[in-house]
Structure 1
Amino acid sequence: MTRLIEAKNIGLTLADRTILEGVNLQLHAGKITTLIGPNGAGKTSLVRLLLGLQPASQGELWRKPSLRIGYMPQKLHIDASLPLTVQRFLQLGGAGAAALKNALSLTGIAHLLASPMQRLSGGEVQRVLLTRALAREPQLLVLDEPVQGVDVNGQVALYDLIDRIRAQQGCGVLMVSHDLHLVMAHTDEVICLNQHVCCHGHPESVTSDPAYLALFGAKAAQTLAVYTHHHDHKHNLHGDVVCNHDHSLPLEDCPPAAQKDESNA
């Protein structure tokens, strides 16, 4: 796999306080890596280091030359009096028309272009932010709490979308999340952070690691088991159940043979 970013023994100290210590990680093209950890673990600080927004206090950080990064922030604050439509907000990102059109086709929000940003739902805001990140045609997509403010069905739809984007675009994905339930079923590697890397690896191996259990408890691992089952259906971006064979069709409208397949899955 193509290496995009590698961190070797990086650390961060601010005002004599250790924020991060001895962190090692690699991010690769075509691979979804999820960063988890309790509040105050240093997740946001680590992302800032990887993006080059904050210099490390120690260690080595390597990025692929001319690496294109698409970043989706955790929150967006827009003044209620600012007349800003979705289309204008996306254009402010500086992407070309073709790249923006392709991003809109991936996220399915073209119908929102004339809507004021302030009137969007939480899920719609997240999809707009994802569209703007994708319009940069990134080799690495960095998503900070991508399903914040989205209901459970919408979360499933967004994670499925991220899977498809990774498959279609071949980009690497770094997700930051505190949601252990759904995110673990949509990632290739988990990095458990608490100022340092406590454990890392495939989700199933991480959830049985003593360091993970010490941070989140055995109950979290038991809850995870509920969410790592095989899905017998799909959700669209609006959270509706759709046909596995044609994601544009509601389940009740898919062909009878396909409905039989769905019910027997």
Structure 2
Amino acid sequence: MCRWAAYRGDPLYLEELVSSPAHSLIEQSHCATRAKTATNGDGFGIAWYGDRPEPGRYRDILPAWSDCNLKSLARQIRSPLFLAHVRAATGGGTRRDNCHPFTHETWSFMHNGQISGFERLRRPMETMLDDELFNARSGTTDSELLFLLALQFGLRDAPIAAVAQTIAFVEGLAENILGSVLLRFTAAFSDGKSLYAVRYATDHKAPTLYASPLAKGYCLVSEPLNDDGDAWQEIPDGSAVIVSADGLGITSFQPEKPAATRPEPLSIPA
């Protein structure tokens, strides 16, 4: 299982999540405490928003703890909204285009979880994509494909509903093709304005998710960045989180069955 951290609020140096805290994301890359595997050394990535609509991004296949460039960038880059991820691969090779976060236009996405039986579901999942989104796929992970499916189902217009439809679609495929469903999904995603997260699993064993105020904003993390237990709120399984200019909100989350036919291709704003 992977570990990740995200922030939205007044501009903050990336190092405040990535490298400075006692249990920073880099520390979690070789010593995670609330995951099945303590080591997350199959690459890392950061995506951050600045003066342009689309996010900047840096990814590599090195373990996060061994990349001096990551520490240098995290110390220098200041952003009001960013996502950072360290990977423990459950599928897909250790290569740069399999490292999170994934980006498309203004959107960024990172994921911790898995789809059981993904290799048998991959092709029918891909057939739901229109040509633009199919051609945008560069890696081989279930995470990237979930992101592109969410875009297909309307992520630009209704982010949480699009993710609910995506998960319901995958669950339906698994039931029909495999005869059983096991999907675990804890993800963060953003359009550069708001930060969203979903924690959900069919077996109610979703990867962990915590929230806490930080500076003049909020951070969402796979596990707390320090030992101050009172500062961290665990987000329940079956929840969606939205961090916006209005603050942090938590609502219940359930998959929502999409239309039986493929969604119409989405128009791209000029």
Q: Same fold (TM over 0.5)?
A: no
Which has more helix, going by share of residues? 1
Which has more strand, going by share of residues? 2
TM-score w.r.t. the length of structure 2 is 0.36
Task: Point out the structure with max Rg over C-alpha.
Answer: 1
